[in-house]
Amino acid sequence: MIAHLAAPETADYLTEERGIRSWLLTTDHKRIGLLYTFSVTFFFAVGALFAALMRLELLTPASDLVDPETYNKLFSMHGIMMVWFFLIPSIPNTLGNFLIPMMIGAKDVAFPKLNLASWYVFMIGGCVALYSMMRGGVDTGWTFYTPFSTIYSTTYVVGAAAGVFISGFSSIMTGLNFIATIHGLRAPGMTWFRLPLFIWSHYATSVILVLATPILAITLLMIAVERIFQVGIFSPELGGDPVLFQHMFWFYSHPAVYIMVLPGMAVISELVAAFSRRAVFGYVFVAFASIAIAVIGFLVWGHHMFVAGQSVYSAMAFSVLSYLVAVPSAIKVFNWSATLYKGSVSWDTPMLYAIGFIGLFTVGGMTGLFLAALGIDVHVTDTYFVIAHFHYIMVGGTVMAFLGGVHYWWPKISGKLYPEGLARLSALIVFLGFNLTFFPQFVLGYLGMPRRYAAYPPEWQALNVLSTAGASILGIGYLLPLCYLIWSWRCGPPAPPNPWRATGLEWQTPSPPPKHNFEVTPVVRRKAYDYEGMKEELRLV
Amino acid sequence: MNSLQLLPQSASTFASEYDPFFWCLVVVCGAVTLGIAVFVVYAVIRYRRRREDELPEQIEGNYKIEATWTVIPLIIFLGMFGWGAKTYFDVEAPPADSMKIYVVAKQWMWKLQHIDGQREINTLHVPVGRPVQLIMISQDVIHSFFVPAFRIKQDVLPGRYTTIWFKATQPGQYHLFCAEYCGTKHSGMIGWVYAMEPHEYERWLTEGAAEGSLASTGEKLFHQFGCANCHHFDGHGPCPDLRGLYGRPVVLQNGTTRVADDTYIRECILKKKPAPVAGFADFMPSFDGHLTEDQILALTTYIKSIGPQPGTGQPSSSGTAPKNYGTQRGIAGPGATSNAGTESDSR
Amino acid sequence: MSSPEVLALREQYGTADQQREISTIGMWIFLATEVMFFGGLFAGFAIYRMYYTQGFMEGSAEMEIVLGSVNTAVLITSSLTMALSVYKTSIGKQFHTYLLLLATAVLGLVFLGIKFTEYYLHYQHHKVPGIWFESTSPHSGAIELFFVYYFCMTGLHALHMIIGISVVVVFAIRTALGRFNALYHTPILILGLYWHFVDIVWVFLFGIFYISGLHR
């Protein structure tokens, strides 16, 4: 492998072309990754604003800050924004777009114009969804259950569903692009088992993206048809079955949560390796665990419906399969932990986020075991226990991984270094704020506080106040990186090509990289994470 | 009033079965999480990078360790599955001698109907120590009947009956919530369950303005809507004689057999059944839109209460319901067929 | 006349084979998404057919079996012309390719014409849910549900046909302009894959909607 040193006069992907047109018409995967980064940050802020209003409302037992109608719209729009306009695209379309070609030694993705088109489709979907929200919002929950969404709701259901429908095509395009890229554009010598685990996880994610998203599309189409033409596909008037909607919806939405978490796991594999200076323990097992999660993840959707009226026998089948899907996740956590053993563990910010991920994802996963137990689920489903469970995975997991990955690859993406001290402090604030926000919600769920309630019995106020306090701390923890990362882009010290002394082809390029990534196509002869073999190039002793 | 509650009340037999399992999971999962956390914190400190150019020992993996931490969690998980399945069966299979109460949910209130006529809105009075089975249906969207103190929850669907049961163990006043988002006043669709000592419950039943039993209400409707004009009770009418119908298998014109349970009767009234009864012409009109769910339940109760045809020797089916409604077992949904008649394993 | 991504790939590997292989993989993945897309509707239809067998058979009896059969023959023939056009372009016979692509487009338009005629006939018989639906059958609810699925699935299929026909016409024009040759004709190849897929979907639609009421 040839290491390049950055000469100041050499143009990189940021400076080679300038002007707004060169950004809006780019086919460079790195620039598209940055376009997505702006978009998802914006949508995250919108979703976070809705969450802040909800938590403020929940400071008091009565529905006194906003009326119930508004509260219902807040939680619906929070869910829609966060799920489809932040979590699903966050890591794959920002970090994945930027890094996948570089990690496999390619100059771009398989279909660069399709990549750009996917961003425009995503933005159109986001605009349609935002427009529905500004016109008055939607109050069906992000789950759009029928017949409420199709017959009884008086809000902009079709508009919101259309926004999501359109953004789904962006997901499909991205997944298609990644699969074709990983299959076809690997550098000579980059065999499957020499790929970084980031690639394996994103490959699994892409398979789910292309196979599951169409089901969402057709389900949303059907509810639009039902709502517009008032025909009872999922409503009992014509003999339609509302539970059929739930089956179709969750058949997509359960694999969707793996779309949201597998990329997080992809990042964590890289962080744990780099900041232990070790190959991830049990590489092959972690690689296949990603595939197993993707496959088994398609078979467990009914665990969202244990009290929905399906048969006891199908509930049992879904329960046992849900336990099976937990096994590969457990394997990954154990392997990451084992990687630390006798490693050289750095406490840099990305590693802090990775450690936080391991802890919080474990709690989230464990509480998933509770929910998979049929009898337990009867009491805690549709309560704050479920909300806490999935926020531990999505926020304690995916968002932490996203922040960790952004910090890790920040020198490569921006060519600058972020302020380490402030970044570590922010990671700590995020971790503490997160736990204070969501741990009390486990207790609230066990006590019986249902989801989507604007008002609640007074004996639950103390726990709700704790949760809101945590949310304000968490908010500060998110604002700080936003500020110092933007600051560092402009004013930070320049970054060397490989500040972390990590393996991986992306670190063999200048920071920031040139437009076509590699001057010469690399030829790969080493296995993944070959610290021993690369010790001379990385100047390790 | 207290604003800090940390433990839920436990007021049913199922809650007593539920809590040990829940806390066992807390202990096991907590221990594993703690173990991982302790190991990670230990490793992060013990193996902290001392020099910027440090290269540690490269350990790639170990098949035995992988096998261990795959198989052991799998075994633990299957144990959790087994315990969970058992508790689930317990809460989903009502005892045969359960007291039936009908629940009709609508935006945004609960209407509860006792067999002997007591109607309640957003409250439910039940005796302690007797199994109570709720037969529920929604008039509009999906709701969910949730009593945290009993640890029970069941979605209430439009268009078909769902059921849950419980046995209260302690007198008291317990929250009732709607747990499936149903629109604007979802968080206002709440109430109270009052568990009472049996003698107090009996007294409560006799008080209050009951308009007669549910069956007598049904009988009035049976005449008011003209059912009696065709369904004669002398075996000679143009339509099937409904005496002793409830709980019996019925042969339909398309050759299939259905058991005449609540679901079947509702389908007949609303004209949603797959085929008319064998041997009769099909000119029963549909009462879809003319009868509310409450009224359908009253008619069904009436049909349950009328005795068998003379000389058939079949037992009257009043007071006992079939063991299941075809929704909790077998293939559920509109037009559920002979699964409705399968033997249940209730206790 | 190559597009930038071809250049980029060629820069890396320098073979048209690589580009064709990746484009083909891309189309197969897209077809997998289409299977899932239509599959959701097929699954819903299958479930309701199980619940409402009688009603769905009565709905099926309302189908215009002659027009449907003609349409099936038309579409299968169009797949033949499409496949032949791929063959002809691969052996360098661009003029034949052009004619065959045009024939494919024409057959596709014939299909759509017959389809929309059927839709109009359904309208005349008051069998269009949400717009004009009447039925005196005791199973009218199930029949309406049958027609909801009918219009959604054949409508979606027709939309795919319209997109396909448009691309066929564009590629016919590009062929006439000499953009393809024996070495480079990947777009026609992957268009062929798409066209065959849309044809197969129709065969299944024909089966579930038209055939199931035949033995009533």
Same domain, B117 and B45: yes
Best mutation target, B263, B267, B272, to test chain C (most C CBs within 10 A): B272
Chain B CA closest to residue C49: B335
Does B183 sit within 8 Å of A145, measured CB to CB? no
- Superfamily for the A20-508 domain: Cytochrome c oxidase-like, subunit I domain (1.20.210.10)
For chain B, which ranges sit under pLDDT 50? 313-347
Residues in chain A: 541
**Strand ranges for chain C from DSSP E:** 127-128, 132-133
Cβ pair A84, A47 in contact under 8 A: no
Chain C CA closest to residue A228: C130
For residue C13, pLDDT beyond 80: no
How close C38 gets to chain A, by Cα (Å)?
8
- pLDDT tens readout for residues C49-88: 998 888 899 999 999 999 999 999 999 999 999 999 999 9
Helices H / strands E in chain A, number of each: 17, 0
- pLDDT tens readout for residues A414-471: 999 999 999 999 999 999 999 999 999 999 999 999 999 999 999 999 999 999 999 9
For residue A523, pLDDT beyond 70: yes
B334 CB burial (10 A radius; 0-12, 13-18, 19+): buried
- pLDDT tens readout for residues A36-73: 999 999 999 999 999 999 999 999 999 899 999 999 99
Taking the C-alpha atoms of residue B116 and residue B210, their distance in angstroms, rounded to an integer, is 8
Same domain, B19 and B152: yes
Best mutation target, B271, B280, B288, B327, to test chain C (most C CBs within 10 A): B271
Q: Position B188: which residue type?
A: G
Q: Which residues sit opposite B158 in a β-bridge?
A: B138
Same domain, B171 and B231: no
A84 cis-preceded (ω within 30 degrees of 0): no
pLDDT at position B247 is 85
- pLDDT tens readout for residues B95-140: 999 999 999 999 999 999 998 888 899 999 999 999 999 999 999 9
- Nearest CB among C22, C44, C48 relative to A110 is that of C22
Task: Compute the average pLDDT of residues C183-212.
Answer: 94
DSSP state for residue A434 in the 8-state scheme? H
- pLDDT tens readout for residues A340-387: 999 999 999 999 999 999 999 999 999 999 999 999 999 999 999 999
The answer to whether residue B2 is domain-embedded is no
Helix (H) or strand (E) holding B138: strand B131-138
Taking the C-alpha atoms of residue B129 and residue B131, their distance in angstroms, rounded to an integer, is 7
- pLDDT tens readout for residues A191-237: 999 999 999 999 999 999 999 999 999 999 999 999 999 888 999 87
Identify the domain boundary among B165, B191, B210. B210
Chain B residue numbers with beta carbons less than 8 Å from the beta carbon of A72 are: 181, 183-184, 186
Same domain, B187 and B297: no
User: What is the total count of domains within chain B?
Assistant: 2
Taking the C-alpha atoms of residue B155 and residue A242, their distance in angstroms, rounded to an integer, is 11
Taking the C-alpha atoms of residue A298 and residue A294, their distance in angstroms, rounded to an integer, is 7
Task: Compute the average pLDDT of residues A288-307.
Answer: 97
- pLDDT tens readout for residues A389-421: 999 999 999 999 999 999 999 999 999 999 999
> How many beta-carbon contacts under 8 Å exist across B and C?
14
Q: What is the mean pLDDT of chain A?
A: 95
CATH number, residue B236: 1.10.760.10
* Percent of residues, chain A, with pLDDT higher than 90: 93
- Closest by CA to A332, choosing from A387, A397, A275, A277, is A397
SS3 for B132? Answer: strand
The answer to whether residue B56 is domain-embedded is no
How close B335 gets to chain C, by Cα (Å)?
6
Chain C residue numbers with beta carbons less than 8 Å from the beta carbon of A111 are: 5, 26
Which residue do the tokens 């399945």 mark?
B85
Range of B265-269, C136-140, C186-190 with top mean pLDDT: C186-190
The answer to whether residue B98 is domain-embedded is yes
Angle, alpha carbons B251-B252-B255 (nearest 5°): 90
Same domain, B200 and B321: no
CATH architecture, domain C36-211: Up-down Bundle (1.20)
Chain B residue numbers with beta carbons less than 8 Å from the beta carbon of A541 are: 51, 53-55
Does B44 sit within 8 Å of A345, measured CB to CB? yes
Query: Rg for chain A (alpha carbons), in Å?
Result: 23
B131 cis-preceded (ω within 30 degrees of 0): no
pLDDT at position B104 is 96
What's the whole-model pTM score?
0.92
Angle, alpha carbons A384-A396-A475 (nearest 5°): 85
Q: What is the mean pLDDT of chain C?
A: 90
SS3 for B173? Answer: strand
The answer to whether residue B101 is domain-embedded is yes
Does C3 sit within 8 Å of A113, measured CB to CB? yes
Same domain, B33 and B109: yes
pLDDT at position B273 is 63
Same domain, B122 and B172: yes
Taking the C-alpha atoms of residue B298 and residue B220, their distance in angstroms, rounded to an integer, is 9
Chain B CA closest to residue A60: B3
pLDDT at position C26 is 95
- pLDDT tens readout for residues C25-57: 999 999 999 999 999 999 999 999 998 888 899
pLDDT at position B235 is 73
pLDDT at position B117 is 82
- pLDDT tens readout for residues A75-116: 999 999 999 999 999 999 999 999 999 999 999 999 999 999
pLDDT at position B324 is 32
- Nearest CB among C5, C30, C148 relative to A231 is that of C148
CATH number, residue B177: 2.60.40.420
Q: Which domain holds residue B144?
A: 9-49+93-210
CA dihedral A158, A161, A166, A168 (to 10 degrees): -160
Does C141 sit within 8 Å of B274, measured CB to CB? no
Chain A residues near any Cβ of chain C (below 8 Å) = 27, 106-108, 110-113, 172, 175-177, 179-180, 183-185, 210-215, 217-219, 221-222, 225, 228-233, 237-241, 244, 248, 251, 516, 521
pLDDT at position B246 is 86
Taking the C-alpha atoms of residue A23 and residue A37, their distance in angstroms, rounded to an integer, is 13
Chain A CA closest to residue C29: A176
Identify the domain boundary among B210, B242, B273. B210
How close C138 gets to chain A, by Cα (Å)?
12
- Nearest CB among A110, A172, A248 relative to C40 is that of A248
Same domain, B40 and B185: yes
SS3 for A229? Answer: helix
Does C52 sit within 8 Å of B272, measured CB to CB? no
In this structure, are strands B249-251 and B99-106 parallel, antiparallel, or unpaired?
unpaired
Domain definitions of chain A by residue range:
20-508
Does A212 sit within 8 Å of C44, measured CB to CB? no
- pLDDT tens readout for residues A307-349: 999 999 999 999 999 999 999 999 999 999 999 999 999 999 9
